[in-house]
Each structure stands twice: as structure tokens, then as C-alpha cells.
């Protein structure tokens, strides 16, 4: 049974989320003390976290930052605000998805199922090491290493890189990546993919590899593995 932690101070909404997700056999845990979210997170060890942005004491962005210091657990943000910057901020902090309130519970369940299925598939894979641009890409630990150092990518960042490497020197369309990541592109803003790819490039820049992920305007992205790198 997958464990889901819901960081939501609206008791009515939390109760409805818990009831709906319990129908799908998820073990749902709420937060009792909003000043000790990380302590409850550490104690519960959830498989997925749902966070509202507007919370008592500290906002959801704060807790996402803290959680990311301890874990790569999948995170879904909820928000009643309609600022595009909220979605951008959540993705930059390492969230896996963003849902605007009010939302349909079928959409929430579908997103949870897609994320957990993807994560479960990663953890069930045998250790695989790939070499790309002189770097070692570890499919089990979600890390990329070369002579400069080593970085650990979020699930979405690593999934994008893995997909691009599998088809290196070939264009992978934006629609292909969106469908692979979120399964139903009707619920995803095109900007969400852009944010995730930009985050991936920024992390790869730490190893001198960011330029090897090329944008093909109007088409998609390509993982290059030769000396002809275009900005």
C-alpha cells in the first residue's frame, strides 16, 4: 500500500482527499502540526507528498525546499492561486506536478497513479549504467557523474534525460515527452515541460553538460553526443 502525505490546512478538503484516495487503497496521512512538517514527514516516510502553497506559519514552497534536502520523494503542489509564477516556482524547487484548485478528483488520482507507476518502475529496474558525453548515467540512483563531479537529478529531470539519451542525436518531440511524463497532456501546461528541461540543463551545467541538451524550435529536444554543439 502506497503512503501519501497531504500537507493541507483546509480540513474539509483534506477529509475529502483522504476519503477519495482511501477508496484507491492509499494510506493517507495529514499534518497535525504545521510547525513540524519535516518531523512528520521523516516519521511517516511517504511514497508521495501533496502540498498546498498557502499554509500556516510557512508556505508550501518552504516545506518543498526542506523535503528536497532530505528526499527525492514525488511532490504534487495544490494551489487556489492562478499566478503562473507559482507553477514555475514549484517546478524549480523540484515538484513533479502542479494542480490548480478547484480540481476534479479523477485528475488528482490519475496524476498520482502515473507518478507512482513511473517511480515504481524506476526502483524495480536492475542497475543500469549508461555512458553519455563522457559521463556515467546511473539509471538506479538517478545520478550523472563525470570528472567534474556528480549530481543527483529529480525523477522528472532524470526521466527527461533518460528519454533523450535513449534517442541521442535524434529529436524527441515535446508531445512525446509530455505524454511519457504525465500520460495525459490535456492537463499539462506546455510551460511545465519547458521549466523541467531548463532545470535539467541547469543541473547538467554543473558538470559542463548543459549545452548537450539542444532545443529544436517548434519540434522538441535532442541529446547530442558529438562535437557539434549549437546554442
Note whether residue 162 is domain-resident: yes
Question: Which CATH number do you get for residue 134?
Answer: 1.10.10.10
116 and 141 housed in the same domain: no
Note whether residue 230 is domain-resident: no
96 and 175 housed in the same domain: no
CA gap 36, 59 in Å, rounded? 13
109 and 197 housed in the same domain: no
Report the domain count for the chain: 2
pLDDT in tens, the chain (231 residues): 799 999 999 999 999 999 999 998 899 999 989 988 999 999 889 999 999 999 988 999 999 999 988 888 999 999 887 778 888 888 888 888 899 888 889 999 999 988 888 877 655 444 467 889 989 998 878 899 999 999 999 888 898 999 999 888 999 998 888 877 765 444 455 678 888 899 999 999 999 999 999 999 888 999 998 644 443
Q: What is the pTM of this model?
A: 0.58
176 and 144 housed in the same domain: yes
Q: Which residues contact 86 (CB under 8 A, 6 or more apart)?
A: 53, 77, 79, 98
Note whether residue 229 is domain-resident: no
Domain enclosing residue 73, as ranges: 3-122
Nearest alpha-carbon partner for 55 in 30, 74, 72, 73: 30
Decide which of 122, 137, 171 is a domain's last residue: 122
Q: Is 3 exposed, middle or buried (0-12, 13-18, 19+ CB in 10 A)?
A: middle
191 and 118 housed in the same domain: no
135 and 68 housed in the same domain: no
Question: Which CATH number do you get for residue 64?
Answer: 3.40.50.2300
Phi-psi region of 227 (alpha: psi -120 to 50; beta: other; left: phi over 0): alpha
Can you tell me whether residue 69 is helix, strand or coil?
Answer: helix
138 and 33 housed in the same domain: no
CA gap 213, 231 in Å, rounded? 9
Note whether residue 54 is domain-resident: yes
Amino acid at each position: 500500500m502506497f503512503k501519501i502525505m497531504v500537507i493541507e490546512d483546509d480540513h474539509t478538503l483534506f477529509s475529502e482527499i483522504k476519503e477519495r484516495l482511501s477508496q484507491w487503497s492509499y494510506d493517507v496521512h495529514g499534518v497535525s502540526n504545521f510547525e513540524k512538517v519535516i518531523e512528520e514527514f521523516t516519521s511517516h516516510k511517504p511514497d508521495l507528498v501533496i502540498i498546498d502553497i498557502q499554509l500556516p506559519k510557512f508556505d508550501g514552497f518552504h516545506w518543498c525546499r526542506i523535503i528536497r534536502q532530505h528526499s527525492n520523494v514525488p511532490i504534487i503542489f495544490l494551489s487556489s492561486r492562478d499566478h503562473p509564477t507559482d507553477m514555475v516556482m514549484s517546478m524549480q524547487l523540484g515538484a513533479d506536478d502542479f494542480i490548480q484548485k478547484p480540481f476534479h478528483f479523477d485528475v488528482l488520482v490519475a496524476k498520482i497513479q502515473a507518478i507512482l507507476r513511473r517511480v515504481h518502475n524506476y526502483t524495480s529496474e536492475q542497475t543500469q549504467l549508461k555512458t553519455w558525453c563522457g559521463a556515467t548515467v546511473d539509471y538506479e540512483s538517478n545520478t550523472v557523474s563525470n570528472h567534474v563531479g556528480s549530481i543527483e537529478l529529480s525523477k522528472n529531470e532524470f526521466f527527461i534525460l533518460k528519454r533523450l539519451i535513449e534517442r541521442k542525436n535524434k529529436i524527441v518531440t515535446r508531445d512525446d515527452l509530455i505524454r511519457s511524463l504525465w500520460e495525459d497532456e490535456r492537463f499539462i501546461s506546455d510551460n511545465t515541460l519547458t521549466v523541467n528541461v531548463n532545470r535539467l540543463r541547469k543541473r547538467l551545467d554543473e558538470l559542463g553538460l548543459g549545452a548537450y541538451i539542444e532545443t529544436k524550435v517548434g519540434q522538441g529536444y535532442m541529446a547530442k553526443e558529438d562535437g557539434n554543439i549549437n546554442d
